[in-house]
Amino acid sequence: MIHGRIIDARATVPVVFRLPGQPDFSLNFVVDTAFNGYLTLPIQAVSAMNLLLHSSAPIKLADGSESLTAIHLATVMWDGVEKIVSVLASGYKPLLGVAMMEGYHLGIDFADNGLVSLEKIIS
């Protein structure tokens, strides 16, 4: 199970990154159920982490406009499992999309410092 918190009225969960030659580190990501990808990070963060460029693709933004965005690959620890996921270099805030939450139940207690949980769905 993955646990997060409501921070500044936003549901957040930590994602642990595993970069070559560096200790693992965690960043809080805002849960974004309108984003169907895995993760987004600001361009500066992607550059500082030296993430591998995978491709680029047009994306449709919330305001309806389109933009060409670089897609990078990152290794993360997700619920105790190492995964390689795509990271869009976009925006100003780390976002966690529904592709990352596939196969999980999302629970959110909307209160100051409320609990956010992602529990693997057992079928």
Give the DSSP letter string of the chain. Answer: -EEEEEETTEEEEEEEE--TTS--EEEEEEE-TT--SSEEE-HHHHHHHTPEEEEEEEEE-TTS-EEEEEEEEEEEEETTEEEEEEEEE-SSS-EE-HHHHTTEEEEE--STT-EEEEEEPP-
Confidence category of residue 64, pLDDT binned at 50, 70, 90: confident
- Residue 62 clears pLDDT 80, i.e. is over it: no
pLDDT given at position 54:
93
Query: Mean pLDDT in the chain?
Result: 94
**Domains in the chain, CATH or no CATH each:** 11-102 (2.40.70.10)
| Longest CA pairwise span in the chain (Å) | 40
Q: What is the pLDDT of residue 67?
A: 80
pLDDT tens, position by position, 16-39: 999 999 999 999 999 999 999 999
pLDDT interval class at 65 (50, 70, 90): confident
